[in-house]
Amino acid sequence: MSVIPSLPDPALRARDRRQRVQAAETGMAVLKGLGQLGGRASLTHLAAHVTESPAKVHRYLVSLMEVGLVAQDAVSQQYYLALETLLLGLAAMRQADPIRLAEAALVRLREELEVTCFLAVMGNKGPTIVRFEEPGLPVTVNVRAGSVLPMLWSATGRVLLATLDEPAVRAQAQAELAAATAEQRAMLDAEAPIAALQRSVLAQGCAVVRDTNLRGISAVAAALYDYNGRPCAVLTALGATGGFDASPDGPVARAVCREAQAISALLGHDASR
């Protein structure tokens, strides 16, 4: 007579699932901990970092070594991130497109603040708008995707001037300064116009302008940083000066900086470093 095997108790199946999930979480914690320690560490140091016993961490390291995510140095006995981890990182980096990642943030800012928002990058002619979002009742401004902005007179340009140390950026700023009217020069520091702008943006974490690029228009902008800590784009919100708070600690600036920091984190930027 054949015996029909009994099905596992639901409680046992649920416990088994929890154990598998916990094991996966611990394995990922060990892998992430190794990355947080610079990609290489001794067993003792790694175990202390992830607050687990060395014996337990060793078991997970052996499993990670078997699938090529971790390797061990034969001389120092330290563990380090191996080839498969590098390939995963490269795949993630290919997905880290600031333009794509900023699209949702632009929509959130547009709806939350009811202002015009855009993303710009440094192009061969200067700061160039690549994505543009308008509220239901847009402010009439003569900028669209593809528009090139000035370096000294736009919030977007000032962020790039302060964060992107490149000859083209400096050259454009100097050319604009040389061509500035007396009224424009009066908006800048008399002794060190460019250096003062740079210090101000870096101190505030954003750039703010009122009626400098377009009469009656104010703007707030903040930089997006990639995994190398390099500025790769600028997030900007603008609106009519009369109803737009362009203070560096106002609600618009806080929202723009918050979104910029969130996108930077998705790009792999570690703000603590």
The CATH architecture to which 10-94 belongs is Orthogonal Bundle (1.10)
Neighbours of 95 (CB within 10 A): 10
Measured between alpha carbons, how far is residue 41 from residues 56, 83, 149, 217 in Å? 16, 16, 47, 53
Residue of 188, 210, 207, 198 whose CA lies nearest to 256: 207
Domain boundaries, the chain: 10-94, 96-267
Is residue 30 within 8 A of residue 60, CB to CB? The reply is yes
Rg of the chain (C-alpha set): 26
Joined together, the tokens standing for residue 261 give 């920091």
Is residue 178 within 8 A of residue 170, CB to CB? The reply is no
Query: Would you state the pLDDT for residue 234?
Result: 95
Check for a shared fold between 10-94 and 96-267: no
Distance CA 166, CA 168 (A): 6
Is residue 198 within 8 A of residue 80, CB to CB? The reply is no
pLDDT by residue for the chain (273 residues), tens only, comes to: 455 555 456 666 666 666 666 778 888 899 989 988 888 999 999 999 989 999 999 999 999 999 899 999 999 999 999 888 888 777 766 666 778 888 899 999 988 888 889 999 998 888 999 988 888 665 556 677 788 899 999 999 999 999 998 898 999 999 999 998 888 888 888 889 999 999 999 999 999 998 887 788 889 999 999 888 899 999 999 888 888 888 899 999 999 999 999 999 988 888 776
Report helix, strand and coil shares of the chain as percent, to nearest 5.
50, 20, 35
Query: Would you state the pLDDT for residue 93?
Result: 62
The Cβ-side half-sphere exposure at 201, using a 13 Å CA radius, reads 28
96-267: in CATH 3.30.450.40: yes
Distance CA 125, CA 104 (A): 27
Residue of 136, 178, 173 whose CA lies nearest to 156: 173
Secondary structure E strands in 149-269: 207-210, 217-225, 231-240
